[in-house]
Amino acid sequence: MNLILASASPRRSELLVSAGIPFTIRISRVEERHLPGEDAWQYVKRLAEAKARTIESAPGEVVLGADTVVVVDDYILEKPADDADAARMLRLLSGRRHQVITGICLRGASRIVVDSETTEVRFVPLSEAEISDYVKTGEPMDKAGGYAIQGLASKFVDRVEGCYFNVVGLPVALVYQKLKEFERMHG
């Protein structure tokens, strides 16, 4: 069974490589727009499935789509639009707990599995100077919630409850578990 990653995310690729899960990349182009009345879990699962469905696949291939958001007070934070948006997000996260939610979809020839992982993260209080300095690095710009836990923002994270790799961008253990189910059914 061949895994196809429907993502251009370098972090998702790195996580799969680190876990020893072989894959091929086929980039999915899906408009990421939140629908009215849709909660964060519905949103990431819908996008993950849409990404998996847009990729053509051959028999024996399983397509993996994924999408990650950060949620604070039921407010969904995606990738920042610009530096000001990144700073706004970091102010919201400063000294508080938030959830990182990743939806995943595995699509084979005759089966689709959609699931999600939620990780609780707590930030230390951040000063305006810390926020400004971090935003100036450019690191927040392509990250949900405007930060990279595995990068310079690691010093802002006081506590993680749940899957750390989910915060990086892919709940690897969940993906692996679902892949094993596919193999058992089609092995």
Could you give the residue numbers annotated as active site? 67
- In the structure encoding, which two tokens stand for residue 112, read together? 């689709």
Distances (CA, A) of 91 to 117, 152, 182, 184: 24, 16, 42, 46
Distances (CA, A) of 88 to 67, 127, 160: 21, 12, 22
Count the Cβ atoms, other than its own, within 10 Å of residue 154: 10
In the Cβ-directed half-sphere of 55, how many Cα atoms lie within 13 Å?
30
Exposed e or buried b for every residue in 53-72, given b needs 16+ CB within 10 A? Answer: bebebeeebbbbbbbbbbbb
Q: Could you tell me if 52 and 64 are in contact, meaning their C-beta atoms sit under 8 angstroms apart?
A: yes
Positions of E strands within 33-182 = 61-72, 75-77, 97-107, 112-123, 157-161
